[in-house]
Amino acid sequence: MQRKVAAIDGRGQGVCLEEATPTLGSGEVKVRVEASLISPGTELGRVRAMRENPQPDRPPRPFGYTNAGVVEEIGAGVEQFEVGQGVACMGGGYALHADWVCVPQNLCAAIPEGVSFVEAASVHLAATGLHAVRRTAPLYGENGIVVGLGLVGQFTAQFARVDRFARRRDIARQVGVECVVDPSEQDVVEQAGEFTQGYGMDFGVIAFGGEASDAFGTIYQSLKQAPDTHRMGRIVLVGGAQVTHGFGSALGNVDVRSAARTGPGYHDPVYECGQAYPEVFVEWPTQRNLAECLSAMAAGKLRVQPLYTHEFALEQIAAAVDVLVESPAEALGVVLKPAHR
């Protein structure tokens, strides 16, 4: 059986390939994909450089890691899903931008009533944001700041209840973020002080990749300060951010934490294919985070639709990549929808 899959070629262009559908393995489900979501930062971060320095002989590379669809077949050992059930799927190399995929069962979660395939297709990025918030260990009534309002930052800000692109700031306001700051026009530290009535932030999240030393310093200056002049709080980095900052007294009593992907279990083949971690030791593994995100969508607590700016057919992958690379100020959530014959 052949499938269509989106790929990036050596010239940095999106192309649609035909290839054999992977063989369904033990502990996996075969899914007819109804929608997938492009993660512009992770998936397309190098595309502009590839366009400036093309390598035409490089084979196209399939990409994608978050989608949703209908279970068409189950592999040996799969008991939590059945044929005909709607599922949200995640995982690099599995949940590709394609019309058919085979995905390990613990990287899937059932789609609850009231959640569309298009909304559920965001599940990997939503779970990344949820895991980042868990790493901040927030307490009721605490104040937090999220720097970077891409898709992961938008989800992080919603789960926790400052960006340079006006469209993204407007979207954040639509989904209920209380105070959205334009760092080119407003003093973020000053705004943080006003928002917390002079108390200071309890935690901050850096939700973008690349050089982030300035953002780290801004969050640091926004954190609460003890009478002995030392800053206190937590800073979580989600994504490929790089930071240069002094430690010891230069950092005060601030905890710096990394948030790795979607929670425990992702990239453990034994877990992915069905072996659960003991809940008493691992309370929030990846699949439980996926289910929690979908439940929040169903309850109206996590708003996905306002994050979507464009929709293309899978075969239009070239146009989808172009709009994200060439018009980042206008594009955020770009959905691909396969056409099934």
Q: What are the tens digits of pLDDT across the range 94-106?
A: 999 999 999 999 9
Residues near 267 by beta carbon (within 8 Å), at least 6 away in sequence: 261
Percent of the chain beyond pLDDT 90? 74
Instruction: Quote the longest CA-to-CA distance of the chain.
Output: 68
Inform me whether the pLDDT recorded for 182 exceeds 90.
Answer: no
Residues near 302 by beta carbon (within 8 Å), at least 6 away in sequence: 126, 155, 158, 159, 293, 296
Inform me whether the pLDDT recorded for 172 exceeds 60.
Answer: no
Tokens representing 85? 């059930």
Q: What are the tens digits of pLDDT across the range 250-281?
A: 899 999 999 999 999 999 999 999 999 998 89
| Rounded Cα–Cα distance for residues 160 and 130 (Å) | 8
Q: What is the pLDDT of residue 337?
A: 98
Inform me whether the pLDDT recorded for 245 exceeds 80.
Answer: yes
Inform me whether the pLDDT recorded for 67 exceeds 50.
Answer: yes
CB atoms within 10 A of CB 139: 8
Backbone angles phi, psi at 76, to 5 degrees: -60, 135
| Rounded Cα–Cα distance for residues 71 and 109 (Å) | 11
Q: Is residue 177 very low, low, confident or very high in pLDDT (cuts 50, 70, 90)?
A: low
Q: What is the pLDDT of residue 189?
A: 87
Inform me whether the pLDDT recorded for 23 exceeds 80.
Answer: yes
For the segment 71-95, the average pLDDT, to the nearest whole number, is 97
CATH for 126-259 (2.60.120.10, 3.40.50.150, 3.40.50.720, 3.40.50.300): 3.40.50.720
For the segment 116-128, the average pLDDT, to the nearest whole number, is 98
Architecture of domain 2-122+263-337: Alpha-Beta Complex (3.90)
Q: What is the pLDDT of residue 161?
A: 67
What single string gives the DSSP state of each residue in 67-131?
Answer: EEEEEEEE-TT--S--TT-EEEEE-TTTS-SBSEEEEEGGGEEEPPTT--HHHHTTHHHHHHHHH
List, in sequence order, every beta strand (DSSP E) within 115-271: 144-147, 203-206, 210-211, 232-238, 241-242, 253-259
Give yes or no on whether 2-122+263-337 and 126-259 have one common fold.
no
What is the CA 18 to chain-centroid distance, rounded?
Answer: 27
What single string gives the DSSP state of each residue in 277-331?
Answer: PPTTT-SS-HHHHHHHHHHHHHTTSS--GGGEEEEEEGGGHHHHHHHHHH-TTT-
| H or E element at residue 36 | strand 28-38
Residue with the bigger pLDDT between 114 and 144: it is: 114
Inform me whether the pLDDT recorded for 159 exceeds 90.
Answer: no
| Rounded Cα–Cα distance for residues 117 and 122 (Å) | 9
Average pLDDT along the chain: 91
What single string gives the DSSP state of each residue in 211-230?
Answer: E-HHHHHHHHHHB-B-TTS-
Pair 307, 332: CB distance under 8 Å:
yes
Pair 201, 230: CB distance under 8 Å:
no
Q: Is residue 25 very low, low, confident or very high in pLDDT (cuts 50, 70, 90)?
A: very high
Query: Reduced to 3 states, what is the DSSP secondary structure of residue 183?
Result: coil
Q: Write down the domain spans for the chain.
A: 2-122+263-337, 126-259
Q: What are the tens digits of pLDDT across the range 130-155?
A: 999 999 998 888 888 898 888 999 89
Cα dihedral sign for 91, 92, 98, 99?
A: negative
For the segment 115-121, the average pLDDT, to the nearest whole number, is 98
